[in-house]
Amino acid sequence: MASFEPILLRNRGVENSTSLEVYASRGGYQAVRKVLQRSPADVIEEVKSANLRGRGGAGFPAGVKWSFLPKDRTRTLLCVNADESEPPTFCNRVLIETDPHQLIEGTIIAAYATQSQVAYVYMRGEFHEQFHILQKAIDEAYAAGYLGKNVFGSEFSVECYVHRGAGAYVCGEETGLIESLEGKRGWPRIKPPFPAVEGLFALPTVVNNVETLSCLPHIIERGADWFTGIGPAHSAGPKLFCVSGPVNKPGCYEGAMDITVRDLIERDDMGGGMMDGKEIRAVFPGGISMGVLTADEINMKLDFDDPRNFGLLGLGTAAAVVVDTDTDLRSVLRNIARFYGTESCGQCTQCREGTSWMNKIATRIAMGAGRVEDLDILLETARNMGMMPGLSICGLPDGATFPIETLVKKFRPELEAAILAQEPGRAEAVLNVLN
Amino acid sequence: MKGRERIHGPALLHEGPRKDSRPSDSGLCVTLAQEDREGIHGPAVQRLPIAIEIRMAWKTIDRTTPVVDADAPPVLSDGVRDKIRSFFVRYETKRAVLLPALHVVQHALGHISWQAMAEIAEILEIPPSDVMDTVSFYTHFWTHPKGKKVITVCRSLSCELMGGADMLDTLKKKLNITEHETTTDGRYSLVTEECLAGCDHAPCLLVNEKLHKRVQPADVDKLLADDSNDRVTMPRSDLFDPPHETSESPNGADEA
């Protein structure tokens, strides 16, 4: 397969790539100059026809999202979602570390298209080094007149502020992010009203992911037709894929959305195959929330549509973690259940209780004190958490049930065998103490 | 019972060593205390002891002792207050300055005390309960003093697959503390967190702001002995730092 010409990562490996000087010398900040000559509506049309689908996980077209803004608005706010917290996703971290000015240019373009006065970059609290890099880049952009009043000498003005989170997965959900920006707990809001109508400070608000915004300068520079020419029609444009776990070259790789999970793990210019001759047992291909694939299913295409054919929630963040055959799946189950048990915000009963019980049950199974019927209880809990779309305020419970449900369903024989092989009487002993 | 929080008030009636670990009193609940210890590979799971912890199902509230002493001198310096106010221009409401304010105060004082919360509330013109509401939601804010450096170990899937549990164990042994504890010399606090977004460098950990990549159990000694293990390589932004004059803080600033 021909190697992919990097677009979003084209400055990775270039010396001093985080500086404005280097970014500008490599064609940076040309797109935004062009954009300022065009009308905002024209820019929205261009992005719409590029079919730029949101890279944060949901895959909603960015241009369409922008067009939901009320026509008669006077103030608009833009939020940049840099709260990347989905294990095992790190592509936004790589983008910020290697090319912060690309993100800033994309942010100015989005702010212009939506006529936003302020752009808030909501950055997760764990990103310390990345914060320093981005803040330095923002300072540089301000000093050069690219941010603030009359950007590039035009009539358009936009302020750009970094807002640092403080450790909460749910703040990556767009209304949770908005609440957190307002100084509150990151509790997602009931929709409608959608943020485009009533968002941050009750003003029309657009929330876009770092990777989505980083695509914008390239769409403007090279046109929507060029963008739609990359990858399949429904999943156009370059995409960052992450791979981690016991592979030879864990990392962030760029490609069109026509590659498979197998490519991502095995290709020499990507994951480079399994470490020390280990074998694949399972892969979580899109962040853990999307669900799991067996070793037989890794020919799944990493685009926005194919994951549904494998019982997964969607493409998610296209970040794969590989589980090898030496690993005890009960511990994987427990690790995942604990994640959601910790990160559920606690607003909706079924999510708060469901994730916490799934954590307790999975912990007991991982302790070697499981029962076969516990697997059915896990499935039933999962069903109760997501039996009706719209039952919960946000998508977290869906994200919590898919990995548990797919893991239990697809690996039931292995899990049952492990439970049956545990020390006899242990489950009963533990349950007796608990009762 | 190491690392357990003490329960104050009438609940003390039942404190002290118990003869019977299986209570029949209806006021008691039993929770699984087994925490975060198991390795991800099979055998580690099997050798785990089952630990059962008993705790009261209720906590009592002491309404007789004021949370904040009204006569105590303010804990926030004028410099810190000005720094907090400098964020006002960025947001539509004063409450939105809460997260930046909490970051600044935690940097200045090491943690966010009740009194600091009350003073922040005054600056932002919101009730102190709103400050507490927000503080209690986010895991990064400390309401009690922490060590000079905080080690944050990632415990999510990629790191666990790559030996994160062994690394965490080694750290606990070397520091002689467990999670959410501080060493007796006050040098280090240890916490675990979900994904640090460093999965390509698993297993990873943060020492204050510095991300350490691919930390193996054998690297732990060297890491802890290195005085500059929290120094980041890029130029730091002081946006969320307190002004320099606030080094009078009783707990020492976060930055060593």
The predicted pLDDT at position B55 comes to 53
Q: Each residue of B197-220: pLDDT tens digit?
A: 999 998 999 999 999 999 999 999
Closest alpha carbon within chain A to B159: A245
Domain extent, residue A250, equals 239-322
Residues A79 and A201 in one domain: yes
Query: Quick one: pLDDT band at residue A387, thresholds 50, 70, 90?
Result: low
Query: Quick one: pLDDT band at residue B59, thresholds 50, 70, 90?
Result: low
Query: Quick one: pLDDT band at residue A228, thresholds 50, 70, 90?
Result: very high
Look-up of token digits 């690790």: A335
Write down the number of H helices and E strands in chain B.
Answer: 8, 7
CATH code, A221: 3.40.50.11540
Tell me whether residue A13 is in a domain: no
Does the CB of A321 have a partner CB in chain B at under 8 Å?
yes
Mean pLDDT of A287-299: 95
**Best CATH choice for the domain B149-224 from the list 2.40.30.10, 3.30.450.20, 3.40.30.10, 3.40.50.300:** 3.40.30.10
Residues A141 and A269 in one domain: no
Give the rounded percent of residues in chain A with a pLDDT score beyond 90: 91
Tell me whether residue A7 is in a domain: no
Question: What total number of domains does chain A contain?
Answer: 3
Of A237, A228, A240, give the one whose Cα is nearest residue A318. A240
Mean pLDDT of A364-373: 92
Top-confidence residue, A110 or B46: A110
In this predicted structure, the answer to whether residue B52 has a pLDDT above a threshold of 70 is no
Of B155, B149, B201, B194, give the one whose Cα is nearest residue B175. B149
Of the residues A126, A158, A276, the best mutation for testing chain B's interface (the one with the most B CB atoms within 10 Å of its CB) is A126
Chain B closest-CA separation from residue A91 CA (Å):
8
Report CB contact under 8 Å: B134, A136.
no
For B:116-175, CB contacts with A below 8 A are: 124, 130, 133-134, 137-141, 152, 155-158, 160-162
Report CB contact under 8 Å: B200, A242.
yes
Domain boundary among A228, A249, A284: A228
Residues A94 and A150 in one domain: yes
Query: Quick one: pLDDT band at residue B58, thresholds 50, 70, 90?
Result: low
Of the residues A138, A335, A358, A407, the best mutation for testing chain B's interface (the one with the most B CB atoms within 10 Å of its CB) is A335
The predicted pLDDT at position B38 comes to 43
The predicted pLDDT at position A425 comes to 84
Residues A247 and A98 in one domain: no
Closest alpha carbon within chain B to A133: B234
Cα distance between residue B107 and residue B97, in whole Å: 15
Q: Which residues of A touch B137 (CB under 8 A)?
A: 168, 185-186, 345
Residues A177 and A88 in one domain: yes
In this predicted structure, the answer to whether residue B116 has a pLDDT above a threshold of 80 is yes
Query: Quick one: pLDDT band at residue A95, thresholds 50, 70, 90?
Result: very high
Q: Where are the domains of chain B?
A: 19-56, 78-144, 149-224
Question: So what CATH class is B78-144?
Answer: mainly alpha
pTM: 0.88
Report CB contact under 8 Å: B211, A201.
no
Cα distance between residue A238 and residue A7, in whole Å: 7
Q: Each residue of B148-198: pLDDT tens digit?
A: 999 999 999 999 999 999 999 999 999 999 999 999 999 999 999 999 999
Tell me whether residue A334 is in a domain: yes
In this predicted structure, the answer to whether residue A78 has a pLDDT above a threshold of 80 is yes
Query: Quick one: pLDDT band at residue A435, thresholds 50, 70, 90?
Result: low
For B:24-63, CB contacts with A below 8 A are: 30, 32, 34, 36, 38-42, 45-46, 48, 50, 52
Residues with Cβ within 8 Å of A329's Cβ and at least 6 positions away in sequence, in order, are A281, A282, A323, A407, A411, A414, A415, A418
Of B159, B42, B157, give the one whose Cα is nearest residue A285. B157
Of the residues A280, A328, A352, the best mutation for testing chain B's interface (the one with the most B CB atoms within 10 Å of its CB) is A328
Of the residues B104, B143, B200, the best mutation for testing chain A's interface (the one with the most A CB atoms within 10 Å of its CB) is B200
In this predicted structure, the answer to whether residue B9 has a pLDDT above a threshold of 50 is no
Residues A429 and A387 in one domain: yes
Interface predicted TM-score (ipTM) of this complex, two decimals: 0.94
Tell me whether residue A4 is in a domain: no
Query: Quick one: pLDDT band at residue B7, thresholds 50, 70, 90?
Result: very low
Top-confidence residue, A33 or B21: A33
The predicted pLDDT at position A23 comes to 97
Tell me whether residue A110 is in a domain: yes
Cα dihedral sign, B9-B12-B14-B19: positive
Residues A221 and A79 in one domain: yes
Residues with Cβ within 8 Å of A155's Cβ and at least 6 positions away in sequence, in order, are none
CA distances in angstroms from A240 to A65, A89, A179, B248, listed in the order given: 21, 10, 28, 46
Residues with Cβ within 8 Å of A380's Cβ and at least 6 positions away in sequence, in order, are none
Residues A83 and A204 in one domain: yes
Tell me whether residue A113 is in a domain: yes
The predicted pLDDT at position B69 comes to 80
Residues A125 and A160 in one domain: yes
Domain boundary among A322, A349, A371: A322
The predicted pLDDT at position B66 comes to 73
Residue environment code for B34-44, b if the CB has 16+ CB neighbours within 10 A, otherwise e: bebbbbbbbeb
Does the CB of B92 have a partner CB in chain A at under 8 Å?
yes
